[in-house]
Amino acid sequence: MGTLVERIHECRGSGNRDAWLDVVEEVACFYTPQLRAYVIRRAPAADADDVFQEVLIAIGQGLLSFSGQTDASLRAWCYRIASNKCADALRRRAADRSIQIDREALWQVIEASAADEPLSPGDRIDLKEAIDLLEAVKPSSSDFLWKRYVLGLDYQEIAAEYGISYDNARMRVNRCLELAQELMRQSR
């Protein structure tokens, strides 16, 4: 009967569509329990089922170009696809969370809050400069800076929101802050 990889290579060259579909189904069925558990651990919980379906589709489509020679290489290849699909889902989720700053709406909120406690001229200038700076940097940077310094989220909260580690959140915020400081130096 041969290994999965041997059957993949045999069926791919045979031109027998039914045999090929059987092999694709066999690979999918063989790795489903392991890959499903992997995706559930790595992908955003709300997207896990969709990501798993994307993984199976990508494996089915990619088997035509799979060139590995062992079942271990097939397993590694399947996990690489799952890893990439999970990363794609996390990137999509992070992009969906980006805050688009509407300058006028932001100033309306600031003015409304200033009714109780008016802003000093210095605070107003600093706030205007911060808003200009947030608009000048790339959207992901402004989002990290906004959440850290305007909303007051700590690194752990930012990490949880983006599905990244504490250290990764801290480093991203610091890099964004360095970029913002560099932009301020250049503007003066």
Residue 25's identity, in one-letter code, is: E
CB 144 within 8 A of CB 172: yes
- Asked whether the whole model's pTM tops 0.85, one would answer no
pLDDT value at residue 162: 81
Which domains, from first to last, does the chain contain? 4-96 (1.10.1740.10), 103-187 (1.10.10)
Assess contact for 104 and 150: CB atoms under 8 A: no
Token pair of 85 as six digits: 């699909």
Q: Band of the pLDDT at 98, cuts 50, 70, 90?
A: low
Q: Measured at the alpha carbon of residue 173, what is the angle toward residues 136 and 144, in degrees to the nearest 5?
A: 55
User: Looking at the predicted structure, is the pLDDT value of residue 102 above 90?
Assistant: no
Residue 117 has pLDDT above 50, yes or no: yes
Between the alpha carbon of residue 110 and those of residues 104, 107, 114, 127, the distances in Å are 10, 5, 6, 9
Instruction: Dump pLDDT digits (tens) for 138-151.
Output: 656 777 777 777 66
| Whether pLDDT at 1 is above 50 | no
Contact 158, 146 (CB under 8 A): no
What is the pLDDT at residue 186?
A: 73
pLDDT in tens, 50-65: 999 999 999 989 998 8
- For 178, other C-beta atoms within 10 Å of its C-beta total 11
Angle between the N-to-C axes of helices 121-136 and 103-114, in degrees from 0 to 180, rounded to the nearest 10: 160
